[in-house]
Amino acid sequence: MEFIEMLGNVSVISIILFLVGIAFVIIELYQPGFGFFGIAGLVCLVVCIFVTAQTVRQGLILSAVFFVLLIILLVIFFTLISKGRLPKKLVLQESTSAELGFSGAEDMRHLLGKTGTVMSTCRPAGNADFDGAKHDVISRGEFIDKGATVEVIEIEGVRIVVIEKKEEG
């Protein structure tokens, strides 16, 4: 009974807004992205402050205090980031090394000048077989029919550019 008396003029709407705001902020911490949940959470918390405040002036003052505290927390957080003193749970501890099974983009320069067979029509992108290995390829804009022989003329990262190799005769 004393707890309910302590709440005084806090309405059910205020409590719901507060809980939803906190939940949205927590979701934003674990689901980073566009920031929808973080912004929605802050809006819910500010609206909660205004619903709970007895006057508009009190709501403005409490909102200002809320944002000052938020800025102070952000400054502390970014100071810790810049000095490398973040809690271990916030920092990825594993490396993405080949020993752990991670691999980057494969170097495709060994295919330069090789010939292969188109496995799906290039319009202009398709697939080609080079010595038993299937690779995604792209032509310079022309269509190349399935079964045609192609030659690798350019490698740009993982992009393999081919031209149709016409039979001479």
Q: What is the pLDDT of residue 120?
A: 92
Q: What is the pLDDT of residues 37-67, one digit of tens each?
A: 888 988 999 998 888 888 889 888 988 998 8
58/51 Cα distance (integer angstroms): 11
Residue 167 DSSP label:
P
153: helix, coil or strand?
A: strand
137/116 Cα distance (integer angstroms): 11
> What is the percent of the chain with per-residue pLDDT over 90, rounded to a whole number?
32
Q: What is the pLDDT of residue 105?
A: 63
Q: What is the pLDDT of residue 2?
A: 56
Q: Which of 21-35, 85-99, 155-169 has the lowest mean pLDDT?
A: 85-99
Return the closest-CA partner of residue 27 out of 44, 48, 41, 42.
41
138: helix, coil or strand?
A: strand
Domains in the chain with CATH codes:
11-90 (no CATH), 109-164 (2.40.50.140)
Name the pTM for this structure. 0.44
152/155 Cα distance (integer angstroms): 8
Q: What is the pLDDT of residue 164?
A: 93
Q: What is the pLDDT of residues 131-144, one digit of tens each?
A: 998 999 999 989 99
Q: What is the pLDDT of residue 68?
A: 93
Q: What is the pLDDT of residues 74-130, one digit of tens each?
A: 888 888 878 877 777 766 667 666 666 665 667 788 899 999 999 999 988 999 999
Q: What is the mean pLDDT of the chain?
A: 83
Q: What is the pLDDT of residue 1?
A: 46
15/10 Cα distance (integer angstroms): 7
Better-predicted residue by pLDDT, 80 or 2: 80
Helix axes 36-52 and 12-30, enclosed angle (nearest 10) = 160
